[in-house]
Chain A
């Protein structure tokens, strides 16, 4: 606000100045004009006095003529009276100032004369008028006829003084005119001065405004130049920025492209690596399987080898004994021949030899041996057959993969397979439920059992090693517990043992996949696998699998699917 006022101060001052000047000129000129009117009235009336004096003279003469001719003097007498009255009041007005009858018989205000010379002239005029006035008054007052002497006296006075009076009236009029002219000059001067002052003010104002406008213009120009410059700079900056942006954009595009290329390469690499990894995993799982298989096969070889060894020994022994038997048979045939032919010489000889042979066989207990050997060999063959049967049961290659199977049979066949690992380490205690069947992949479950039983046997370091296998049915779950009294698993390893590749065995002695594969097999059966262990006391693995798999959407297919993902997860 204050700033605005400040801004408008100049213009306000200028306007005020302008108004004051104009107003003062107006006031002065209006006053002066009023005075001029009065002065004009004075001029006018002063000049009328000359005419009036003439008319007074003329009416006097008219009265004289009329009287001479004896005509009525009434009319010129009235005119003289009126003229006399006007003349008298006007001259008094000029001296004292008073209301008088104007030119058009209206009353106007007459102001007294002011100049000294006019006052002198007026004094002299009064000196003439006052005696004239008395003479005229007698003329006017006369009824019917004016006494001749009076009239003569008036006419004589008039003719003697009229010219002087006229001159005086002229002087006064000139004085009045002079005063009027002076005043109107003054007025003109004032008006011109006012106008000039107003003009000067206006021009000052105009100049000032122009200058201001110009400076403002300059400022605006400067400002706009600045603005333009700034705009230029900004434009340049913007352009640079834009170019940079474009460059950035281009490099971004390029980077994006490169990224895409890299991405695709990466994807390819990932795919390759995934494939490699899968391959490696497959190989690892394969090698784990091979390791397990190798162990199993070695064990089985030993198991088969023992009966094979004694069966072979028996057969070799029998082939030796067979020679003796054949000798016996041969001798018997010869004896029969001799008997048939009545060959008495040879008969005796053969009889003796036969007796010797029989004695020898009897002494060596050969016959009994042969029958024992046969019996034992058959036993050996039975054992081999049983092993083969178990192997078949364990692998279940000739059965449906997924079926409702006897869990106990699976454990038992696994125990036989693992016998050679267990037998030097521990005795097996079975605490089976009366019956335990579950829907499962029996071969895979057997793999889990073999793993757990083998681990248990390997963990045992004491003389009275024991592996306790307990089964039960709990809430629709088949529960199998494999407990050992081995060295136990340290706490820090306990939550890691199901991790793939986790192993405490030296490098090359186990891939660390065994338990993780077991875990997955059990998961795949919608089951759980848990471990409890105490170092120095033993370890218990617990497996729980549903007796009946859920049928929504087909558990079997679910299991089959997860089986294929098994490879990837392991």
Chain B
């Protein structure tokens, strides 16, 4: 019998830890911690594949802990449990924590097991691909690939903003970008088919169509395109979905300073180059190769049809 995978549960409620560990310990080696400090200590001494942390804890908050875990153990897949829909905490964790999933408390044991299992598999896949990458091209780390000067300028696609707005947003950018923009989803799909988009900057408000569905459709077809949401919709559910369904890179609420927006876009472009050179870093892509239906379910069939139609139209016009 192979050794069970190590997982870490963090919650300030010992009774929750004990109940969870009882239902999980048949399948995993369960570590528990009652606060962030303990959790970090365990992470440093054990190879933890998946960490499940509560958000609200005395001392260190969940997303802070996961941010630190990301630095200490980048391959550990990070899940955040939230019982209390604290909007600021969620947005913070989206933008800083680089977490894989939000799990609402209370969560059924079955669902939790699924998530943990998926996390374990993603972890294993990434690790194995890293190992392969190391043996094949040991001399060229991903970061250096990203920095190659010969790379053509990255393409930005803005969806749902006025030209004036885009003008203002791009005014402080130091790096050169090709800027595309679309006001409707059809225009957006056409643009995506026409050129290779590195960073997609999108609003969420598209009338009859769900913004998250749109992004998900794009992500399915163009997995390396990095998504940045810039919107005035401040909504916890949307934020959670943007992580769980799209694995959004940043969720920014308006208004935003041009400086910080420029920095975000530059980081996103870098991320895009990373994905292209080392696809296993793309956690969403990895997840979908493991369990496509289960990992990122979407109801965006209509949107997918639009995308396909746009592609056909493009092919026709080219031929």
Contact = CB atoms under 8 A, between A and B. Distances in A.
B19 A376 contact: yes
Interface string A292-314: 00000010011001111111111
A143 interface: no
Contact of A316 (B18, B57, B58, B109): B109
Interface string B252-276: 0000000000000000000000000
A308 B16 CA distance: 9
Given A308-B106, A310-B15, A316-B108, A424 B83 contact: no
Nearest to A422: B58
A10 interface: no
A420 B12 CA distance: 12
B105 A305 contact: yes
Contact of B23 (A301, A313, A376): A313
A481 B85 CA distance: 32
A261 interface: no
Contacts of A305: 83-84, 105-106
Interface residues of B, number: 23
B71 to A, nearest CB: 22
B311 interface: no
Nearest to A463: B59
Interface of B: 13, 15-16, 18-20, 22-23, 26, 56-59, 61, 83-85, 105-110
Interface in A520-539: none
Contact of A312 (B22, B56, B106): B106
B64 to A, nearest CB: 12
A373 B20 CA distance: 11
Interface string A350-382: 000000000000001000010011001001100
B84 A307 contact: no
A424 B56 CA distance: 8
Given A313-B23, A424-B61, 15 more contacts: A302-B56, A306-B16, A306-B83, A307-B13, A309-B13, A310-B18, A311-B19, A312-B106, A312-B108, A313-B16, A313-B109, A314-B22, A376-B18, A380-B15, A424-B58
Contacts of A302: 56, 83-84
A311 B19 CA distance: 8
B18 A424 contact: no
Nearest to B59: A424
Contacts of A311: 19
B88 to A, nearest CB: 11
A317 B19 contact: yes
Interface of A: 298, 301-302, 305-314, 316-317, 320, 364, 369, 372-373, 376, 379-380, 420, 423-424
Nearest to B13: A306
Best-buried of B15, B83, B110 by chain A (most CB within 10 Å): B15
A305 B58 CA distance: 17
> Which 8 interchain pairs have the tightest Cβ spacing?
A309-B106, A313-B19, A317-B23, A310-B19, A310-B16, A305-B83, A316-B109, A302-B84
Contacts of B105: 305-306, 309
Contacts of A298: 84-85
**Main DSSP-derived SS at the B contact region:** loop
A305 to B, nearest CB: 4
Contacts of B13: 306-307, 309-310
Best-buried of A311, A314, A373 by chain B (most CB within 10 Å): A314
Contacts of A420: 56, 84
B22 A372 contact: yes
30 contacts: A298-B84, A298-B85, A301-B84, A302-B56, A305-B84, A306-B105, A309-B16, A310-B15, A310-B16, A310-B19, A310-B20, A311-B19, A313-B16, A313-B19, A313-B106, A313-B109, A314-B22, A316-B23, A316-B108, A316-B110, A317-B19, A369-B22, A372-B22, A373-B22, A376-B15, A376-B18, A376-B19, A420-B84, A423-B58, A424-B58
Contacts of B107: 309
Contacts of B22: 314, 317, 369, 372-373
Contacts of B23: 313, 316-317, 320
Nearest to B107: A309
Contacts of B61: 424
A309 B58 contact: no
Given A309-B105, A313-B106, A376-B18, A364 B58 contact: no
Contacts of B26: 364
Contacts of A316: 23, 108-110
A42 B57 CA distance: 175
Nearest to A301: B84
Nearest to A426: B58
B10 to A, nearest CB: 14
Contacts of B59: 424
A457 to B, nearest CB: 12
Contacts of A301: 83-84
A56 B284 CA distance: 207
Contacts of A320: 23, 109
A322 B19 CA distance: 16
Nearest to A369: B22
Best-buried of A298, A305, A364, A380 by chain B (most CB within 10 Å): A305
Best-buried of B19, B20, B109 by chain A (most CB within 10 Å): B19
